[in-house]
Structure 1
């Protein structure tokens, strides 16, 4: 979720040196979020103070530099705040694995499509909206699929719900997106149907997700690049 939405925006616009600065800022935000949310969850200040300060100190000059160069990004960045509040609430209530929390995080990370697209001089925001839609559609489906092989492994109802979601994703891709995007959606549907029936391990599934991410990314590159 860190790389794919960012790359969507790069692919659909023009790669720029500012993308390097943006990714550095994005990576530091990502690294800061984990200890910050863990502190909210546990209130163990002694454990999480140093990583919060470390990544925070690194982030501040990078973020200021980026904002000075592109002050218009502040308005887009404001959209992250309510979604982070959702993540903070679930951390505080020690319920981070809740599906709604996953979806809030997915939408939050997918918003990077717009920032990366904007940095690259993209101006056709209907394209950016399609890429945002693809990102959310893909990662929400992944959240459902992962639950069918871990926490909801024995829940047949959730398994069929996951399959239904992926089947709808194929239909939506055929209806709303360029035809090539039906290919990764169909592959992901097969993944949702087949792999939970196997004895695939969490590690193997994680490795396979890299492959699926590349398939989605390459499909977007060919379609929107």
Structure 2
């Protein structure tokens, strides 16, 4: 229900002097996520695959559907977290309707993408369960979000000009069809999954788990392994991993001696996300 406000005079005055209370307008936050980090995690892997494999009208349509899907997911998650308050019902149902209208024609033309339906049903279920339990910031919930976003690179890749696979996408999915998993899509998805999970660990060391040595050492060890693995695969991946390791080490050490604003952490992660968007497709 919309909240209401009233002035002190209205609360204590007579019926003729009292001013009618006005409902507070629903915030844009009810409809659009205002967290740049969440948008970058959700969209950058699919955008990277869209660019690296050669944009087509179909791949553009699919990326747009994924953006709508993300809007439907986070509004539904808020609705679950609020125990189905009426305030969050309209955005969730509206995005679900838009997704159905825009997405059903795509499924009719390309039923092969239904191969991914069980996987995304599980990941979406984990996300909604975390919201219902009010643990959407937990490590397992973050991991589900990273996997869902990163896997979209593989979903988008077959529709690019470099990986066009109409025989795989234009029919109902088999148990396994290699054409649905082009190497470039799998590589981009893997790169983003590894890098974004490192970002999850780093952000926790700076905010929710700040001062927790276990998380800090886990973050450092993970990023060090990422550097080694990155250079084994490609110099660009190694350079990206080095940048991620540098910020994972430097900012927590700085935070021991002075306050590091949350905004600074967000700006740092925005820069790292842009590096991922550039270097991972180039390495692939």
Normalising to structure 2: TM-score of the pair? 0.74
* 1:150 equivalent in alignment to 2:207: yes
> Does residue 1:187 correspond to 2:247, yes or no?
no
- Matching of residues 1-225 of structure 1 within 5 Å: 1-121=41-161, 122=163, 123=179, 125-175=182-232, 177-198=233-254, 199-224=259-284
Offset at 1:136? 0.7
Structure number with the higher helix fraction is 1
Once the two structures are TM-superposed, the CA of residue 167 in structure 1 deviates from its matched residue by: 0.4
Q: How far apart in 1 are the matches of 2:227 and 2:117?
A: 31
- How many matched pairs? 223
Counterpart CA distance in 2 for 1:8 and 1:218 is: 8
Higher normalized contact order (CA 8 Å, seq sep 6+, divided by chain length): 1
Whether contact under 8 Å (2:155, 2:185) holds in the other structure is no
| TM-score (norm. length: structure 1) | 0.92
**Unmatched segments (≥5 aa) in structure 1:** none
Q: Distance in 1 between matches of 2:195 and 2:80?
A: 29
- Pair member with larger Rg: 2
Q: CA deviation at 1:118?
A: 1.6
Structure 2: state its 5+ residue gaps. Answer: 1-40, 164-178
Q: Which stretch of the first structure deviates more once superposed, 46-55 or 120-129?
A: 120-129
Indicate the SS of the match to 2:54: coil
Tell whether the 8 Å contact from 1:24 to 1:62 is kept in structure 2 after alignment.
no
1:110 shift after superposition: 0.9
SS of equivalent residue, structure 1 residue 152: coil
Kept in 1, the 8 Å contact 2:47–2:63? The answer is no
1:12: Cα distance to partner?
Answer: 3.2
